[in-house]
Amino acid sequence: MKFVIATGLLLLSCTSGFVTPHYKSSSALNGAKKDTYEVTLLPGDGIGPEITEATKVVLEKLCERCDFSLNLKEALIGGIAIDEKNDPFPKESLDQCLASDSVLLACIGGYKWDTNPRELRPETGLLKMRKEMGLFANLRPAKVLPQLLDASTLKREVVEGVDVMVVRELTGDVYFGEPKGIDTDADGQRIGYNNMIYSESEIDRIARVAGDVASKRGGKLCSVDKANVLDVSQLWREVVTSVIDKDFPDVTLSHMYVDNCAMQLIRWPKQFDTIVCGNIFGDILSDEASMLVGSLGMLPSASIGEDGPGVFEPCHGSAPDIAGEDKANPLAMILSAAMMLRYDLSRPQEALLLETAVEMALDANVRTADIKQDNDKCKLIGCKEMGTIVADLVETIDMPSVEEEKIAV
């Protein structure tokens, strides 16, 4: 594991199975190590409360063992916030998040709110949170774990060794572009439209995050766009090229059209190291990349801004079909907590302990339903039991060693 400070950015890379390079702007590092942290927990909807409970059990053990405290305070987001406050991300929640050292989010959404008007949909709360907290960079790692190789729908030789990081721009693009709406034209026909729009500065800052991430990984960055058709993509390509050429001489930059990238990810994913793309392409490609790993249930993500707390959350959704049945996989949320410990709480040792405990739980041949294979000789367990097993491991395993140079920062 390496811990490096590069021009204004802090990055971590690690050889542990789950850990991928991390980005945080230096201004957010004021929170050097503390004894007590304020953390906002957003359990959200569907399986959210169950995986949050399992993660809390693990974090309690971690705090006991490592002698620090997390003041975990819940807040509302998503469907539950609509039900209770008629707002998918109420101001109280935003204020609480901004006043915290970090935010750990489970997942949002469910059938119940699917037909609500846009302003009263759970997804709107998530987008509001990203925008208002300035979380412009979303890191979505997809690393295939040897323990779960057969959980992928692709052939073993295609996925073995895959380790891709999707750096997705998160606060711009057609998601937030204006004008947007549904109007009626002169003939009385309804017209729906959104605006795919990026400014140079938005492209510049995400290109820098991606350049930095790539330089601490395999040094290969693939920028994804649709520059053969879209003007916004042409600007994207120009700005990314100029940032990487000028300021990241060690990074080899390539460009790929989004349709080709979608195909190449399935055909030969090992060609990719770090991918950078706009918000909507990143939404689609990160789901695709995550399935190379076999289950969305394993993947953490980090959403980071220039400063202030980041938001750490599993890549998966709220799985309303299994909510409340103790079938969910809490590991992505536990791994998201590990990312939080490393980025926002300056606790790399504790992050590594969590990640090691998760790997050891898999080595102990226990599986939740999403990662259980026929004939894998593993025991099928529920969400709660998985949490308890990881918590017990956190309590008992040898403390993994973090090299001194990493702790020094």
Residues lying near ligand IPM in the complex (CB under 6 A) are found at 123, 126-127, 283
Q: Which of ligand IPM, Mg ion, none does residue 123 bind (CB under 5 to 8 Å by kind)?
A: ligand IPM
CB 63, min distance to Mg ion, A: 32
By CB under 5 A, tell whether 283 contacts Mg ion: yes
SS (H, E, C) the chain: CEEEEECCEEEEECCCCCCCCEEEEHHHHHCCCCCEEEEEEEEECCCHHHHHHHHHHHHHHHHHHHCCEEEEEECCCCHHHHHHHCCCCCHHHHHHHHCCCEEEEEECCCHHHCCCCHHHCHHHHHHHHHHHCCCCEEEEEEECCHHHHHHCCCCHHHHCCCEEEEEEECCCHHHCCCCCEEEECCCCCEEEECCCCCCHHHHHHHHHHHHHHHHHCCCEEEEEECCCCCHHHHHHHHHHHHHHHHHCCCCEEEEEEHHHHHHHHHHCHHHCCEEEECHHHHHHHHHHHHHHCCCHHHCEEEEECCCCCCEEEECCCCCHHHCCCCCCCCHHHHHHHHHHHHHCCCCHHHHHHHHHHHHHHHHCCEECHHHCCCCCCCEECCHHHHHHHHHHHHHHCCCCCCCHHHHCC
Residue 326 interacts with, from ligand IPM, Mg ion, none (CB under 5-8 Å by kind): none
Nearer to ligand IPM, 75 or 126 (CB): 126
Catalytic residue list contains 376? no
The first and second tokens of residue 311, run together, are 């938001």
Please check whether residue 288 is in contact with residue 267, taking contact to mean a CB–CB distance below 8 angstroms.
Answer: no
CA-wise closest residue to 204 among 282, 136, 275, 259: 136
- Given the complex with ligand IPM, which of 313 and 355 has the nearer CB atom? 313
Cβ-closest position to ligand IPM: 123
Closest CB 159 distance from ligand IPM, rounded Å = 21
Minimum Å distance from CB 81 to ligand IPM?
A: 14
Nearer to ligand IPM, 130 or 205 (CB): 130
Q: Cα–Cα distances in Å, from 353 out to 54, 59, 72, 114?
A: 16, 11, 19, 39
The minimum distance between CB 34 and ligand IPM, in angstroms, equals 29
**Smallest distance from Mg ion to CB 286, Å:** 7
CB of 45 to Mg ion, least distance (A): 15
Lookup: tokens for 405: 């140079």
**The entry of Mg ion, ligand IPM, none that residue 311 binds, CB within 5 to 8 Å by partner kind:** none
Which option in Mg ion, ligand IPM, none does residue 288 bind, with CB closer than 5 to 8 A by kind? none
Q: Counting Cβ atoms within 10 Å, is residue 196 exposed (0-12), middle (13-18) or buried (19+)?
A: middle
Among candidate residues 259, 321, 363, 379, the one labeled active-site is 259
**Closest CB to ligand IPM among residues 123, 392:** 123
Q: Residues 204, 247, 287, 307: which is the catalytic one?
A: 287
Using the rule CB under 5 A, is 288 a contact of Mg ion? no
Of the residues 204, 283, 307, 326, which is catalytic? Answer: 283
Picked from ligand IPM, Mg ion, none, the partner binding residue 293 (CB below 5 to 8 A depending on kind) is: none
- φ, ψ of residue 352 in degrees (nearest 5): -65, -35
Q: Which of 175, 225, 273, 344 is catalytic?
A: 175
Name the minimum Å distance from CB 303 to ligand IPM: 9
Q: What residues between 20 and 49 interact with Mg ion by CB under 5 A?
A: none
- 175 is an active site residue: yes
Residue 283 designated active-site: yes
Stretch of 97-105, 230-238, 280-288, 395-403 contacting Mg ion, by CB under 5 A: 280-288
Q: If contact means CB under 5 to 8 A according to the sort of partner, which of Mg ion, ligand IPM, none does residue 150 touch?
A: none
| Nearer to ligand IPM (CB atom), residue 100 or residue 301 | 301
Q: Examine the residue annotation and report whether 307 is marked as an active-site residue of this protein.
A: no
Q: Which is nearer to ligand IPM, 261 or 402 (CB)?
A: 261
Residue 287 annotated among the catalytic residues of the structure = yes
Catalytic residue among 226, 273, 370, 406: 226
CB of 313 to ligand IPM, least distance (A): 8
- How far is it, in rounded angstroms, from Cα 244 to Cα 211? 6
When the beta carbons of 127 and 322 are compared against ligand IPM, the nearer one is 127
Of 166 and 381, CB closest to ligand IPM: 166
**Can you tell me which residue has the tokens 């201004």?**
27
Interface residues toward Mg ion, by CB under 5 A: 283
Residues recognised as catalytic = 175, 226, 259, 283, 287
